[in-house]
Amino acid sequence: MAERLSLPADRPLWLKKPVNFFVATALLCAFAVAGNALAVPLFYSVQFIFGSIAVFIAIAMLGAWPAIFVAAAGGLYTWLLWGHPYALMVFVAECLFVIWFCRRTDGSALLADGAYWFVLGIPATLLLYIFALGVELQTAFLMALKQMLNGIFNAAVAGIFLFFLRLIQNRISTAYLVSDQIRGIIFHTTLMIALVAGSIPILQFAHYKQHTQERQVEEQLAHQLERVDAFVRANPGYTNEAWARFRASLPDNTDVEIQPAGAAEAASKETGFQLEHKTSPDEPSLIKRWKQGNYQLTSRVEGQVPLDVVIKRSSRSISEEMDRASLEFLAYLGVLLVLGIAVARLMSNLLTRPIWRLSTLLNSATNGIITTDVSGRTEWVNLGFSRLSGYSLAELQGKRPGDLLQGVDTDPKTIARIGEHLRRQESFEEEILNYNRQGNPYWIRINCEPLRSENGQLAGFIAVETDITEQRKIAHLEKVGSEALQRIAQSERIDETLVALIQSVESLIPGVRCSVELESPLLSDHCDLHFACYLAVHEQSGGRYWQCAPASPAIVDSANQTIGRIHAFYQVGRAWSANDDEVFKRAASIVSVVIERYYAEYKLRESASVFRFANEGIILTDASGIVVDCNAAFANITGLQPFETRGRQIRELLAELEEVAEPGSRFQDSMTREKWVTDTWIRHKSGQRNCVRQSVSAVRSKQGTIHRYVYIFNDISELKEYESQLESMAKFDPLTGLPNRALLSDRLQQAIIQCDRTGSELAVFFIDLDGFKQINDRHGHTVGDQLLKTVANRLKSVMREGDTLARFGGDEFVVVAPLSFEVKSCQLLLDRILDVVSRSSRILGEEVSITASIGVTVYPQSETIDAEQLLRQADQAMYSAKQSGKNQCFYYDADSERAVRDLFGDLKRIEIALANDEFVLFFQPKVNMKTDELIGVEALIRWHHPERGLLAPDEFLPVVDQHSLGIALGEWVIRTALRQSEAWRKQGLNLSVSVNIDPYHLAQDNFVERLGAILQEFPELEPGDFEIEIVESSSLEDLRAVSRVINACRALGVRFGLDDFGTGYSSLTYLRQLPLDYLKIDMSFVRAMLDNPDDLSIVKGVLGLAKSFNLPVIAEGVETSAHYDLLISLGCDYGQGFWLSRPIPPDALFKWAKRWRKPEDYALDSDPAARAGSGRLP
């Protein structure tokens, strides 16, 4: 390869002195100026200018800025010579490009300069010569091509010079040349020979061609001169006309001058004619001188008046021919350069291939290889050595490796031993601590061998260095682990042991801190090591930043369970290597071993402690059954002290203690089985009887033979008593003392068997308490439990002999009654049950009342039926009783079962309809009848049934009464009504919207919370925009609770009204206790008040009562103008009914509100479709 022109990382020693540096710079500047001034003419206008050689040398030896200075000095001369700076610009640009190229690619001089000319040089030169100097395109291209080849030749010459200069300076190994060095010698030598040998014939051919062209011109001019001479001699007194005719016969590019003798120098008679090329000496451009000059011949004609005849011919035509010849010449030189480089490259590769293979083999080795001279100075290192040390070959050559690699912690004794081996010129192997270029320590094993020449003389040393840093770290970790195990064996604390271990790990890897995080519950009680070294990291950081390692190795125990992790922290800027990972993984395994050992020691201590302080009595025997020891708990159970049991045969001891006939047989069983457990009664020494659970376990040795038995005695006397109690609890309800569901099932099955056997009948009553949930929620579980006990006692008081009363669960009871008497006796029992349950009770100061719904079924039936089916039939009958009004009994039949199934089917269909968005809201306006102002609307639900069409509320709302589905439907109505109100507000229509809420929904514990959440979804609505109407005809059982709910909702901005007022049982009580905002008179009174005086009186009474309580009244059922007028005359300001408007969809209501007028006003409207009589929309 060509000599690389990389910028010098370190100047040679002789250039580091300032004087030598400036002298070298000055010499190179002078060489650059001389190279540009003393051009070597090769052919025609082709000259070899070698100033850029100095620039290339300056780049390689001095650096960038001195090289730029040298380039500027050489280019400045051309500026002074030619009068323009363009050559200086090209020269400096070439220098800058080569410097940039070398920094980016570390390429050779040839490659860098060739890249410059092809990328920038040729285009810049053409532009300068054509546009700045006005040179013709062909001439400019010739000059650019000449300069490119000139520059590339100079780069090649500079490379050859630099290579051999470095060879002279011993920059190349004198003993073992690597392939690149040998390849460089062969490449430059071959290139030099090719350039010199190839240039000579090319120059000879070019000169021959130029000489041939000039000879032709000389011959042509000599012929014309002879004609002129003959004309002058023949016409001594020629006229101008004769002369003009003669000149016209001459060629166009030929001119003749006749001058007095002596005006022109005559040709020498010895040499004949002399051809001269005359040009202006002031023209600096060689090419322009050739193109603007003349070839001329001079001859003297002797006569009466001697004359000098000068014949001239322009050199332009000759220069054009020579331009083409110059291009050929430059092309030959270019081909020569390319072929020379190719041949040199080929020869260097072929001749160095064996050495290249050897060099590649040595450099691919992971070990470091170094050769030194006899004095120990480095001659060559491979890439493996550079990777280990961080130093390149150039940095190590000529230096002793120990001067760069050994540090403060390197063992002086090892250094002394290595020096002694070298002095003795013998082979050796040593391990030593070195430091790389970054200052990081690493361990190596050196295997060194002396190198001897053919005559046996010592020529140097070769050493192979193996990185053993990780091996040393692992060995150190193993040593640290052994020391940690010794600490554990000496009963040191686990946290102190682990801190010492991880501090040793930190000492192995500079710039790293670590911590141990433990997840073992056992260890967490004995040490505080979740981040043991965090404080150390904090205090030792010295202001430096730390970051976590990429991975934290797990600490895994022998059962492959993760019990902790090791975390590493390293300084920012330090690279984390795979070797670091390996060290920490090894450290994690050592920590695991240490913790396992600690576990073993801890368990051993715990076992001894357990044996001494266990609550269970423990006896240890040998394999033959001789008692070895017993603990204090055994002494407490039996009254026998340890000294009374040691050495006795276990068979005899058990025979003395146990109340069994043959205790020895049990011993034999324990001898034949690994484990054995039994419950038995033993006698205390004092005579007390205790029940113990005795277990025996065999302990085997590593060889698998039994060498010990462990007898454990656990006093279970209290447990036996608890088992007896639990057996009772498993069959009876703990609250009421009644049989539970399990015992009920058993007795019902027995009763069925008895009926089948005797042909008798039985009845099953399924009793459910009405309203128990409300009492439980209102008064608390204490009152509820007490009420259940009271009801249970009352039910037991009316049961007959043979009847079974059981608590089925919650507030449900079941009675199994044999029908050994008449059927009416069964009905009497049912009546007594309804009577005793419905009696009021005073519990914890609270007066509570409750009723029961009873379902009845009988056995046998026409079809085979089991106990579970009987209970299910009674349950369905009970449900039918509840649906029929509660506080009654209902006999099971097939129709009721179908009704229940239909009910559940309807519930499922309504649930599907809610999910499918089949429900819609219609809105009925509420009007101020005095001012005809629209004051609000009431939201009324409808069901768009896919098969039955639009359904009214009374067709589906009763199905969801007292059901959770009714709550979901109510929340849908609230949310939909609020969304529609918000939409109207955005359209400019501000209306309050009211919805009906069932008391069951209102009584839910989270009603206020749920309502508040829904209201937050519509932040643009203002307080008072939403109203809730409570149906007064429904039973509001706990007015205080309802009042609290209303007050909480009013705090959210919700207004409350009482709907259907006058139809309930406690209207005045509601008015007095509920914080209402308005009343609504039930439509049944309003509709009938025109015909029924009693209804009119009720309307007047409600209006007067509302006035007393200062409550507005809205009259429902305004269906005619007579209703309208009468209500106004009675002082009722607000109305709602079909005469004003029927319930209409949201979009229609918006249009209706914009055109609202009193219905009687539409009589004046000529358009029938616009009349709204009896609810027709405007």
686 and 803 part of one domain: no
pLDDT at position 291 is: 59
Range from 31-35, 230-234, 693-697, 1121-1125 that averages highest in pLDDT: 1121-1125
Residue 1154 has pLDDT above 80, yes or no: yes
The range of the structural domain enclosing residue 381 comes to 365-467
Structural domain ending residue among the three candidates 856, 877, 892: 892
Measure Cα distances from 486 to 492, 600, 806 in Å.
9, 14, 70
- What pLDDT, on a 0 to 100 scale, did the predictor assign at position 32? 79
Write the pLDDT tens digit of every residue in 856-882: 999 988 888 899 999 999 998 898 888
Residue 778 belongs to domain with CATH number: 3.30.70.270
Task: Tell me how far apart the alpha carbons of residues 428 and 921 are, in angstroms, rounded to a whole number.
Answer: 102
Residue 934 is predicted with a pLDDT of 92
> CATH code at 108?
1.10.1760.20
**Range among 219-223, 420-424, 607-611, 683-687 with highest mean pLDDT value:** 420-424
Instruction: Give yes or no: residues 1151 and 1027 share one domain.
Output: yes
* Same domain (yes/no): 822, 848: yes
Q: Which residue has the higher pLDDT, 835 or 33?
A: 835
Q: Given this model, what pLDDT does residue 280 score? A: 47
Is there a single domain that holds both residue 657 and residue 799? Answer: no
Greater model confidence, 757 or 509? 757
Q: What is the mean pLDDT of residues 1121-1132?
A: 92
Q: Both tokens of residue 72?
A: 């500027």
pLDDT at 1124: 92
Q: What are the phi and psi torsion angles at 1035 (to 5°)?
A: -85, 115
Judge contact between 1096 and 1087, C-beta under 8 A.
no
Considering the entire predicted model, what is its pTM? Answer: 0.36
For residue 71, pLDDT over 70 is answered with yes
Any domain includes 781: yes
Q: Count of CB atoms within 10 A of residue 342's CB?
A: 12
Tell me the percentage of the chain whose pLDDT exceeds 70. 78
Classify residue 257: in a domain, yes or no.
no
Overall average pLDDT of the 903-930 stretch: 88
Summarised one tens digit per residue, pLDDT across range 818-871 is: 876 555 567 888 889 999 999 988 888 888 889 999 999 999 888 888 999 999
- Whether residues 603 and 620 share a domain: the answer is no
Q: Which of 608, 643, 666 is the last residue of a domain?
A: 608
Query: Could you read off the pLDDT of 326-369 as tens digits, one per residue?
Result: 677 667 777 777 787 787 777 777 766 666 666 667 777 778 88
Residue 263 lies in a domain: no
pLDDT digits over 436-466, tens only? 888 888 889 999 999 887 788 888 898 999 8
If asked whether residues 826 and 924 sit together in one domain, one would say no
Residues 639 and 597 in one domain: no
- Residue 1162: DSSP 8-state: G
Tell me the per-residue pLDDT of 144-179, one tens digit each, with 9 for 90 and over: 777 777 777 787 777 777 777 766 655 444 434 455
Instruction: Tell me the pLDDT tens digit for each residue of 621-675.
Output: 888 889 988 888 888 888 888 888 888 888 888 888 876 544 444 545 555 556 7
> Is residue 992 helix, strand or coil?
strand
Same domain, 573 and 544: yes
Over its C-alpha atoms, the chain yields an Rg (Å, rounded) of 61
Buried b (16+ CB within 10 A) or exposed e, 589-600: ebbbbbbbbbbe
Residue 279: the pLDDT is 47
Of the ranges 247-251, 579-583, 625-629, the best mean pLDDT one = 625-629
Geometric angle at alpha carbon 649, from 643 and 653, rounded to 5°: 70
Task: Tell me how far apart the terminal alpha carbons of the chain are, to the nearest angstrom.
Answer: 103
pLDDT per position as a tens digit, 507-558? 777 677 777 777 755 455 555 444 444 434 444 444 445 667 777 787 777 7
Residue 83, in any domain of the structure: yes
For tokens 């004769």, name the residue.
242
Per-residue pLDDT, 177? 46
Highest mean pLDDT pick, 4-13, 671-680, 943-952: 943-952
Number of domains within the chain: 6
CATH code at 1058?
A: 3.20.20.450
Q: What is the CATH number of the domain that holds 634?
A: 3.30.450.20
Under DSSP, is residue 748 helix (H, G, I), strand (E, B) or coil? Answer: helix
Provide DSSP, 158-222: HHHHHHHHHHHTT-S-SSS--HHHHHHHHHHHHHHHHHHHHHHHHHHHHHHHHHHHHHHHHHHHH
How large is the average pLDDT for residues 92-99?
Answer: 80
The verdict on 1049 and 922 lying in the same domain is yes
Same domain, 594 and 629: no
Q: 834 is written with which tokens?
A: 């309804």
| Same-domain check for residues 946 and 1076 | yes
Q: What is the mean pLDDT of the chain?
A: 78
Question: What value does the mean pLDDT take over residues 1065-1076?
Answer: 71
386 and 527 housed in the same domain: no
- Residue at which a domain ends, from 138, 171, 204: 171
Q: Which pLDDT belongs to residue 1172? A: 36
User: For residue 975, is it within any domain?
Assistant: yes
Whether 392 maps to a domain, the answer reads yes
**867 in a domain, yes or no?**
yes
Q: Are 925 and 1123 a contacting pair, CB within 8 Å?
A: no
| Residue 537, in any domain of the structure | yes
